[in-house]
Amino acid sequence: MQYILDTADISFIKKAIDLYPIEGVTTNPTIIAKEKGDFKSIIKGIREVIGEDLMLHVQCLSLDAETIVKEALYIKQFAGKNVSVKIPVIPEGIKAIKILKSKNIRTTATAIFTAQQALMAANAGADYVAPYINRIDNILGDGAKVVSDIVQLFNINNISTKVLAASFKNVEQVHKVCLAGAHSVTVNKDLFEKLIYHPYTDLSIKTFISDWEGQYGKGKTTLDA
């Protein structure tokens, strides 16, 4: 399982990279716009923080294949070697994925709501497919089931494309797609730290410290034993 950050907040990325086993960062036009800065500078800033080895997913905005490809090549120039260009699964997007595959440019098919969209994108050459879990759930669908179906189709057809589940509102959704076989999840900063939070964990730690300090003194640790 790959944990990926869905944010362009440099301060949070620095903190998360330091603490957690992060495999990369995803962005989209909405995330970039929230930072209210220069697009290239934001992307370069993220790359500087995460280094060359971690993934960076950056989205195109054009709606025709020719211009999508131009955007992808432009993004590739300054986003670093380990970049995957995000492309929505519209017909022209599928065409662009095919073209970029021939140019050895990695792509992430995004805005996926069905398993067939994911299969089409994978057959076109996408390296990742990104189903929108919470948005699927919001239209009376089952995001985790869509992930399960995608994984099954990929296994049946011996496809190496990875499922990058996205669009989460709670930990339960993340947990369900992990059980469904997603290869990676991208989680926003508001939700990410909740993945390991539990009140009884905090209570247990407080109890351990209280019992230890009651015997050995306040502020003491095993280093003082």
CA 124 – CA 178 distance, rounded (Å) = 25
Q: What angle do CA 50, 41, 71 make, to 5 degrees?
A: 95
Give me the torsion for CA of 64, 40, 1, 3, rounded to 10°: -130
The answer to whether the beta carbons of residues 3 and 184 sit under 8 Å apart is yes
Question: Beta partners for 78?
Answer: none
* Residue position matching structure tokens 């960076």: 56
Options 36, 40, 44, 86, the catalytic residue: 86
Looking from the CA of 217 toward its CB, the CA atoms found within 13 Å total 6
Q: Which two tokens stand for residue 79?
A: 């986003």
132 dihedral zone (left: phi>0; alpha: psi -120 to 50; beta): beta
Residue 86 is among the residues annotated as catalytic for this protein = yes
CA 194 – CA 43 distance, rounded (Å) = 26
- Could you give the residue numbers annotated as active site? 86
